[in-house]
Amino acid sequence: MTSVASTLPGPALQASQAALTAAMDQNKSAEENSKANGDESPEPGEIQEVDMEAQEQKIRTVFEDPKSFNVKHPLYSAWTLWFDSPATKGRNLPQTPMSSFPQTPVPQTPGGVAALGWMEDIKSVITFDSVEEFWGVYNNIVPPSKLPNKANYYLFKQGIIPAWEDEANKNGGKWSIQLPKGKNERFIDTMWLNTMLAAIGETLDPLPEDGEEQPASLITGVIVSARPQFFRVSIWTRSAPSGAGGEDDALRERIEGVGRVFKTYVLGYPEAQKLAGPLATEVEFLSHKDSEKKGKQAKKIIV
């Protein structure tokens, strides 16, 4: 040990040296103990064997680091929230600091190009792929009951734009319900929250069990719209039955399943309840092709 010239008086210097020696001895015996236990710390550059099985068994939870809260719960898919409102027409929204994802431009796909006019005033707000980020977004945006008239939130799987023209939507349709204003402000926020949770939780068109063959989820996105006299909540699907029979019957059954989950579990109505009334609709399905025809000869499915 290097001796350092000290200005301490004799007894104090002796006490200080004794304390230092004791600390060094303690450190040495801790190192020896850990070597005896086989948990040596690696030398710089040394390659270590990792017991993968032991690591897998150790599940990381949010309790491991309760201060940093650095464990995220990933969603099955990433989702992009889009928004339009009379107030955002012709304006660019500021980038939000809430996520590392950049704002999503309308893709230069044939569908994206065809929908450019429609998408002009629809702004992407944020893309998220974890439960925590979803709540971060949800807790910081205006609920549908407080949206201005003609505003819409669109929550779509990342990469799909909220337009009929998108490849994922062009053969699809939508389940929707219209609820008159004046009576439904109390319910619309919960209905929209439940709709988003069912979408990001993939419970509207349940995912295949392990090893089960099933085409990609039917759901492409969900929308809430505020209009002067009513609210509308919609669920967009990738396909729409044409009524041709055969394989189409299986698709129709699957689409009807989505409608039933929407009506009962998400919106909270008994399955047999009739909902239509002044400015209110049943939970009804319409293909986008029929929507484009503005309802002429539309074939609606109702649950």
Of 225, 237, 239, 287, which lies in the binding site for ligand MGP, with binding defined by CB under 6 A? 225
* Cβ atoms of 164 and 291 closer than 8 Å: yes
- Which of 156/164 has CB closer to ligand MGP? 164
- Which of 133/160 has CB closer to ligand MGP? 160
- Which of 115/204 has CB closer to ligand MGP? 115
* Cβ atoms of 219 and 207 closer than 8 Å: no
CA–CA distance from 78 to each of 129, 130, 153, 234 (Å)? 4, 8, 16, 19
From the CB of 227, what's the least distance to ligand MGP, in Å? 5
101 touching ligand MGP, by CB under 6 A: no
From the CB of 205, what's the least distance to ligand MGP, in Å? 20
Residues 6 or more apart whose Cβ sits within 8 Å of residue 215: none
235 touching ligand MGP, by CB under 6 A: no
- Which of 133/288 has CB closer to ligand MGP? 288
**Mask: binding to ligand MGP, 24-63, rule CB under 6 A, as x and -?**
----------------------------------------
115 touching ligand MGP, by CB under 6 A: yes
Report d(CA 80, CA 31) in Å as an integer: 52
State which amino acid sits at residue 133: E
From the CB of 131, what's the least distance to ligand MGP, in Å? 29
- Which of 127/152 has CB closer to ligand MGP? 152
106 touching ligand MGP, by CB under 6 A: no
- Which of 163/191 has CB closer to ligand MGP? 163
Total residues binding ligand MGP (CB under 6 A)? 7
From the CB of 68, what's the least distance to ligand MGP, in Å? 42
227 touching ligand MGP, by CB under 6 A: yes
From the CB of 115, what's the least distance to ligand MGP, in Å? 5
- Which of 115/251 has CB closer to ligand MGP? 115
One-character DSSP codes across the chain: -------S-HHHHHHHHHHHHHHHHHHHHHHHHHHHTT-PPPPTT------HHHHHHS---TTSSTTT-----EEEEEEEEEEE-GGGTT-PPPPPTT-SSPPPPPP-SHHHHHTHHHHTTPEEEEEEEEHHHHHHHHTTS--GGGPPTT-EEEEEETT--SSTTSTTTTT-EEEEEEEETTTSHHHHHHHHHHHHHHHHTTTTTTPPPTT---PSPSEEEEEEEE-SSEEEEEEEES----S--THHHHHHHHHHHHHHHIIIIIT---TT----BTTB--SEEEEHHHHHTTTTT---EE-
- Which of 134/236 has CB closer to ligand MGP? 236
Find the residue with minimal CB distance to ligand MGP.
Answer: 118
Site for ligand MGP in 151-210 (CB under 6 A): 163-165
Of 17, 103, 118, 141, which lies in the binding site for ligand MGP, with binding defined by CB under 6 A? 118
- Which of 115/196 has CB closer to ligand MGP? 115
Q: Which residues bind ligand MGP (CB under 6 A)?
A: 115, 118, 163-165, 225, 227
